[in-house]
Structure 1
Amino acid sequence: KVITINPAKPPPEFKAIGLKHVPAILHEEEGYDAVDDIMQYIDKKFPGGGLEYSSPEADLATKDFFSKFCFYIKAVNQDPTKLDQALKNLNGFLESALYSNGIANGMTDHQNENEIPDNPYEFLVSSQLTHLDCEVLPKLQHLRVAAKELKDYDIPMHLRGFWRYLHAGYTNPVFVQTCPCDQEIILHWHDRPETPKLSHKKHSVIAKRSQSFHIMFQSMLLL
């Protein structure tokens, strides 16, 4: 069972079991709210789930984009150059076909886009979700929704690998069922102290409208 909460105002039952951060897991009276602890517990409690992975290259390709987003989303920063580069690096990894047992051996930033073969995997290092995807996909969704609403930033449409990867997430029931709605993402980032602020009217409209999910694609991305 997945329960969404407001981290700024967690319900009493959340705090009563000693949890302070999200995401968190509660299972058989054991609770964890650190990502590494959650992953270790799942691997130990449910062995053979297929979430394990080993890919230093994937770790490297995904390590910068969220920190660049967190810096860019601040109200004082109007330059998306570093975020663009981090997304370009991730896209290069996703478009690379130089895989061996789920490990990429090179980036493709300087190749002609028309000559880049497709990643043979749906996800980062496998045809199924791994721990890394469970961490990266939600962050990409936060980036896509919040950056558009608060900074009018659009992820470049020519990043084919990126969009195909995000589409794989949108068509996976695990991600769809656990993905927060647009409103939760927007208001979460809006309420942070250094981010751009919506007008009172727009904030009220977003808070009151029915839940929606930003999963639109251009047809070219699905080819």
Structure 2
Amino acid sequence: MLFMILCLKGVVLIVSTMDLKRKATNLQNLASGIHPLFMTFNNKVRKDVSKIEEFLEEVLCAPKYLKPSPKHPVSNTVGIDIFAKFSGYIKNVRPEANETLERGLLKILQKLAEYLYSPLPDEIDENSMEDIKFSKHKFLDGNEITLADCNLVSRLHIVKMVTEKYCNVNIPKGMTGIWRYLTNACSRKEFTNICPSDKEVKIPNSDVIKRLTR
């Protein structure tokens, strides 16, 4: 998410990998006991993602940097519970609860699909005789990527990949809003440059995936 925000603002990134079992001494001294994700700036450590996002917006501000805030508040919240529902579903160890959890995940995905397919407030002209029932906006808040997309799209990609590959559950084709959204995201470098590969998704979820594939 944070990488996508930086890419969207046009910040050039230098990415270095690190073995967490053998942290560099200076990193241990600076952020001892803290696990990723965290950020350091002027020797101050920020480890809360929302606080890091607020800091980036404060420092990388207009007019030099793009301020990609959504115009419609609901764009920030429409997919907010998807990853929590997904985590509850894939981490469930009680077979009798699996069907209920799967329905809960699909229900919240359907809510997102309907939002992506419905006209946004600024697409509706109250003085027009034309009744717009369906929208073609590419992203959550319109035709441009905003912070709302940075918060959602990579997580949605993980949900799609894991449920499809390890749970034998696909996002229904009837949820055309979501499929269009993911297709549009894949056409933008801000997403493709940071989109996690299957291996990157699998490593931190190895214990869960191992259980799902038994």
Q: Would the TM-score normalized by the shorter structure come out above 0.5?
A: yes
Q: CA 1:43–1:196 in 2, change beyond 3 Å: closer, same or farther?
A: same
Structure 2: any 5+ residue segments left out of the alignment?
Answer: 1-13, 125-131
Quick one: distance in 1 between partners of 2:145 and 2:21? Answer: 29
| Equivalent residue pairs, number | 183
Q: CA 1:31–1:63 in 2, change beyond 3 Å: closer, same or farther?
A: same
Tell me how far 1:43 sits from its aligned partner.
Answer: 0.9
2:30 is the counterpart of 1:17: yes
2:65 is the counterpart of 1:40: no
Match of 2:105 among 65, 83, 89: 83
Q: Which residue of 2 aligns with 1:66?
A: 83
Tell me how far 1:31 sits from its aligned partner.
Answer: 4.2
Quick one: distance in 1 between partners of 2:69 and 2:115? Answer: 19
Q: CA 1:68–1:119 in 2, change beyond 3 Å: closer, same or farther?
A: same
Which amino acid letter does the alignment assign opposite residue 34 of structure 1?
D
Structure 1: any 5+ residue segments left out of the alignment?
Answer: 105-114, 200-223
Q: Which residue of 2 aligns with 1:185?
A: 201
Q: Which residue of 1 aligns with 2:135?
A: 118
Tell me how far 1:25 sits from its aligned partner.
Answer: 3.7
Give percent identity, aligned residues only.
Answer: 21
Structure 1 vs Structure 2 CA RMSD? 2.9
Indicate if the aligned counterparts of 1:2 and 1:178 stay in contact, CA closer than 8 A. no
Q: Which has the higher contact order (CA 8 A, sep 6+)?
A: 2
Q: CA 1:47–1:82 in 2, change beyond 3 Å: closer, same or farther?
A: same
Deviations 1:132-153 (A, max 9, x none): 2111011111111122222111
Tell me how far 1:50 sits from its aligned partner.
Answer: 2.1
Give the structure-2-normalised TM-score. Answer: 0.72
Tell me how far 1:155 sits from its aligned partner.
Answer: 0.9
Tell me how far 1:119 sits from its aligned partner.
Answer: 3.4
Q: Secondary structure at the match of 2:203?
A: helix
Q: Which residue of 2 aligns with 1:165?
A: 181
Deviations 1:171-200 (A, max 9, x none): 1112111122111212322325x972446x
Larger Rg: 2
Q: CA 1:40–1:57 in 2, change beyond 3 Å: closer, same or farther?
A: same
Tell me how far 1:28 sits from its aligned partner.
Answer: 5.7
Give the structure-1-normalised TM-score. Answer: 0.69
